[in-house]
């Protein structure tokens, strides 16, 4: 991608603030997921938005299956974007897969990240001896089978579960962007995420983290938030939102904006 990275990943900078805020979307969405959050922060920040290379809004030809077989490559993209924009410090908000991408990037370049705000983050989805990730290998295999068999049907099934709360507009939005992903890319990214175990990376993080977790999230048990607080190397805070769902920026944007604001000001 080279010089055209900013263009390829639809990088936008909006807002009038002095400091930089980066909003990084998660699996199955694109930067449009932040549209109900963005208005709260454009006066306070220069807000950077971009699409992950796997997003349906990015030309799938850019998705190099060899390169994007680990989250490190996504962290590369993130750092290259920040460098291209000349950003030397930012507050980072990452949802889902982008939470861990931010974690990886902050380990490599701690000086660029003044704070990480992690929404629906998990360092490992599979259960292990002393760790509850929420999924057994057999659960995951069934997910992959369903995705392969009929992607549209899988999207229609998973979207309401992921959104959790009864917020039809959020389900519709998530379904739209999830369905926009090319099914083979969506499956490949799911495998990458479910096969990765980033627990040992957590201790390398020096940046203070603010972990935002909802009370019921099909992808991430609440115990994972506590695990993150304990294992991340910096000074960390957990905020439990008394709502349901993996995508609070879609389903409860006002509440999330309130808590983001709190996180920014601490």
**Positions in the binding site for its own copies (CB under 8 A):** 70-72, 104, 107-108, 129, 195-201, 203-204, 206, 233
Structure tokens at 119: 């929404």
Phi, psi of 104 (to 5 degrees): -60, -45
Contacts of 3 (CB under 8 A, 6+ apart): none
Q: Which is nearer to its own copies, 90 or 104 (CB)?
A: 104
Q: Which is nearer to its own copies, 200 or 262 (CB)?
A: 200
Q: Which is nearer to its own copies, 75 or 117 (CB)?
A: 75
Structure tokens at 8: 């390829």
Whether 246 sits among the annotated catalytic residues: the reply is yes
The least distance separating its own copies from the CB of residue 32, rounded to whole angstroms, comes to 29
Distance in angstroms (rounded) separating the CA atoms of residues 204 and 131: 19
Whether 25 sits among the annotated catalytic residues: the reply is no
Residue 3 per-residue DSSP state: G
The least distance separating its own copies from the CB of residue 109, rounded to whole angstroms, comes to 11
The least distance separating its own copies from the CB of residue 201, rounded to whole angstroms, comes to 5
Query: Which residues are 47's β-sheet partners?
Result: 14, 21
Contact 89, 20 (CB under 8 A): yes
Q: Which is nearer to its own copies, 64 or 152 (CB)?
A: 64
Whether 190 sits among the annotated catalytic residues: the reply is no
Query: Which helix (DSSP H) or strand (DSSP E) does residue 99 occupy?
Result: helix 97-108
Q: Which of 20, 25, 95, 246 is catalytic?
A: 246
Question: Which residues are catalytically annotated?
Answer: 96, 217, 246
């Amino acid at each position: 991608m080279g010089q055209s990275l900013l263009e390829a990943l639809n990088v936008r900078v909006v807002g009038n603030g002095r400091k930089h805020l980066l909003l990084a979307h998660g699996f199955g969405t694109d930067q449009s997921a932040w549209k109900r959050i963005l208005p709260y922060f454009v006066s306070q920040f220069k807000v950077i938005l971009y699409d992950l290379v796997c997003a349906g809004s990015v030309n799938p030809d850019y998705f190099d299956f060899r390169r994007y077989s680990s989250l490190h490559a996504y962290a590369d993209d993130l750092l290259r974007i920040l460098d291209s924009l000349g950003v030397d410090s930012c507050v980072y908000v990452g949802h889902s897969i982008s939470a861990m991408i931010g974690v990886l990037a902050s380990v490599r370049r701690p000086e660029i990240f003044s704070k990480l705000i992690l929404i629906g983050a998990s360092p490992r989805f599979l259960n292990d001896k002393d760790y509850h990730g929420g999924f057994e290998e057999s659960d995951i295999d069934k997910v992959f089978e369903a995705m392969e068999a009929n992607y549209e049907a899988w999207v229609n099934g998973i979207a309401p579960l992921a959104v959790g709360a009864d917020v039809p507009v959020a389900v519709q939005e998530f379904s739209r962007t999830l369905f926009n992903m090319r099914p083979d890319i969506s499956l490949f990214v799911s495998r990458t995420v479910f096969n990765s175990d980033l627990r040992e990376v957590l201790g390398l993080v020096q940046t203070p983290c603010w972990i935002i977790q909802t009370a019921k999230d099909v992808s991430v048990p609440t115990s994972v938030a506590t695990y993150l607080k304990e294992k991340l190397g910096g000074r960390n805070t957990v905020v439990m939102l008394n709502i349901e769902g993996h995508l609070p920026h879609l389903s409860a944007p006002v509440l999330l904006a309130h808590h983001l604001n709190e996180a920014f000001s601490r």
